[in-house]
Structure 1
Amino acid sequence: MTERITIVRIAGDGVGPELVESGSRVLESLGLPVTWVDADAGLTAYHRHGTTAPQETLDALRTHGLAIKGPFRTPSGGTIRSGNHYIRRGLDLYACLRPLPIRQDRPPMLLVRENTEDLYGAIEWMASPDVAQAVKVASRGGCERIVRYAFELARRERRAKVTLVHKANNLKLTEGLFLSTAREVAADYPEIEFEDVLSDTAAALMVREPERLDVVVTSHTVGDILSSLGAALAGSLGVVGSLDSGPGIHIAEGCHGDAGDLAGKGTVNPAAFFEGIVLLLDAMNAEREAARLRTALTRLRTGGPRAYDLGGGSGTAEITEFVCAEAAAS
């Protein structure tokens, strides 16, 4: 890729600044002609601007369309919403892709999570002083586009099967709409097998028979749980990348939280963040650069320095140096 590209950098909270610095170095090691635009979001941005996602940041993402982002810290309870909430819903980043390398002898399970509906809209209220209620949203259009995203991904990656994970046995309307819409979309892809399983069954399959799952598409809430389960089965949250996508916009990150207890110590595993960058390169159609970084990450897994979360003793800087050197030499 020779054309200059502009990528927004959002440092975020906790270990975010360290990861974004490492990710920037990795992208530059690939020889990409990058212009960086730094933007603010997260809890630190809230203390500076009074919002976790300033309008200037949303505008930069909308203008440039590509970003790497550190994790955000979000308080449980209270009234402060995550910057992710405003970014995903404000920019319609409806699809989240997380490859889960559960078995080393097989390609990763591709988890596709719907990103804007379900309970993520955070529509809730106090029906009485002792009763809180929330609305779960499923629209036909939202269900169709996320399922079609999954099937197009399966076709592009030459995967054999798409599995819808749901709870339509209990939530007859919302999850029922998800299921019926998925069956309709599946008819447009006769060469790809389609099945549906309940969310609890899917969790058991990931542990006992992960080879049965190829591309999985599910709601936001269930996807959050399954992605963390898959990362744990793969060894750590520090090895799973994530890509949020919508019309003309892609944001790469790791699948983990801000890990504030590790901030500034130089011990966070940057591999998940680098895996997210691979997904970003794929979205950019930077095929050669994506292949080089994949090769570097394969060498990291098979013979490179081992991070603390995987039982090793190598920190962020050492792992970053290794991946940069391997990517540059590939």
Structure 2
Amino acid sequence: MDNQKIQTITLIPGDGIGPEVTNAVIRVLEATGVRFAWESFTVGADAFAQHGEYLPKELSHSIERTKVVLKGPVATPVGGGFRSVNVALRQQFELYANLRPVKNLPGVPTKYPDVDLIIVRENTEGSYIGREKEIAPGVVEAIKLVTEKASTRIARFAFEYARTHHRKKIDAIHKANIMKLSDGLFLDCARKVSQKFPTIAYGEKIIDNACMQLVLNPQQFDILLTENLYGDILSDLCAGLIGGLGLVPSANLGTEIAIFEAVHGSAPDIAGRNIANPTGLLQSAILMLWHIDEPIAAQRVQKALEYVYRQGKALTQDMAGSYGTMQFADAIIAAM
């Protein structure tokens, strides 16, 4: 045991319910037997109050060193204040691929059984580059940036992921009927990459039709390949199919660095009450375990999580249960 590798992870607990769900997830991870060393940092408003900057330089140095981050929810001001910490981290570390698996948990009642799809979202450009300016009083212009390099890179990621994980079909989501140059370039890159993967079916859907089809019959989809804004919207829509943002994982992946995060909000109204559901961040941590080559631990946590949900006796209040955040974590550990 003394010779077991120590996994050093950069930790961003976040704010609101972030520290609670993060502590619960850490408790589960450390019960797997994997040895962790955590380098913990605050970001956003808390970091600015302490250090005068929203993303401390020490955090960046830690990420460059560990290459892996586990991140709780962080609030972003609406219509002003500092920019999104999530977007800033993705751009700073070139985390070009957002991976969002969406799959039903056993025992969670939904209108859509047997949902099992993956959203692969381009993470660095599109409408999220933050280039806006007021060109006249009451008139604001926003730039949408699409490049051949980024579009080809995310398409290749999606097809390689499909091949590795035995997925059968990829649908590229677009609005090229209106945005003929920008979305047209995205589609052109996806088509060229698809030709190199003849065993994987390839299709295309206009974004508004894709939304309708997801509501009518989500089982028809396997992997959705999207630009940044479309992927952000579809990710939340798809989370709703299986019970909400509190249940789905997310990974932001680059060439060297990966951030695994909760995608739900910081819910300050329930912070400190030990009632938050840590499932979303725990599912992201399972993706992290696979990423750091701890497959046995990943499988143990996944099976224990599914067992607890299948039994339905140790769930948090949002799942019609009575367990607190830490009690739920302890139930996962007991199931392991």
The TM-score by the shorter chain falls in which range? over 0.9
User: Is the 1:42–1:72 contact (alpha carbons within 8 Å) kept by the matching residues of 2?
Assistant: yes
1:128-177 CA distance string (max 9 Å, x none): 12101111111111111111111111111111001111111111111111
Q: 1:20, 1:42 → 2: CA distance?
A: 16
Match among 189, 194, 200 for residue 186 of structure 1: 194
Match among 223, 235, 260 for residue 215 of structure 1: 223
* In the alignment, structure 1 residue 321 sits paired with structure 2 residue 334: no
Q: Which residue of 1 aligns with 2:31?
A: 29
* In the alignment, structure 1 residue 96 sits paired with structure 2 residue 98: yes
AA in 1 matched with 2:119: L
Q: Which residue of 2 aligns with 1:71?
A: 73
SS at match of 1:100: strand
Q: 2:104, 2:6 → 1: CA distance?
A: 36
Shift of 1:250: 1.3
Q: 1:103, 1:206 → 2: CA distance?
A: 18
**Worse overlay, 176-185 or 13-22:** 13-22
Q: 1:136, 1:205 → 2: CA distance?
A: 26
AA in 2 matched with 1:309: D
**Worse overlay, 125-134 or 102-111:** 102-111
Q: Which residue of 2 aligns with 1:86?
A: 88
Alignment gaps of 5+ in structure 2: 107-112
* In the alignment, structure 1 residue 309 sits paired with structure 2 residue 318: yes
Q: Which residue of 1 aligns with 2:42?
A: 40
Shift of 1:315: 2.1
User: Is the 1:41–1:54 contact (alpha carbons within 8 Å) kept by the matching residues of 2?
Assistant: yes
Match among 253, 266, 270 for residue 261 of structure 2: 253
Percent same amino acid at aligned positions? 36
- 1:196-235 matches, within 5 Å, as 196-235=204-243
Q: Looking at both structures, which has the greater relative contact order when contacts are Cα pairs under 8 Å and sequence separation is at least 6?
A: 2
1:274-319 CA distance string (max 9 Å, x none): 1001111121222111111111121122114222222332221121
SS at match of 2:80: coil
Query: Given the two structures, how large is their TM-score scaled by the length of structure 1?
Result: 0.95
SS at match of 2:127: coil
Q: Which residue of 1 aligns with 2:109?
A: none
User: Is the 1:9–1:39 contact (alpha carbons within 8 Å) kept by the matching residues of 2?
Assistant: yes
1:216-246 CA distance string (max 9 Å, x none): 1111211111111111111121100111111
The alignment's C-alpha RMSD in Å is 1.6
**Worse overlay, 169-178 or 303-312:** 303-312
AA in 2 matched with 1:84: N
Alignment gaps of 5+ in structure 1: none
* In the alignment, structure 1 residue 287 sits paired with structure 2 residue 295: yes
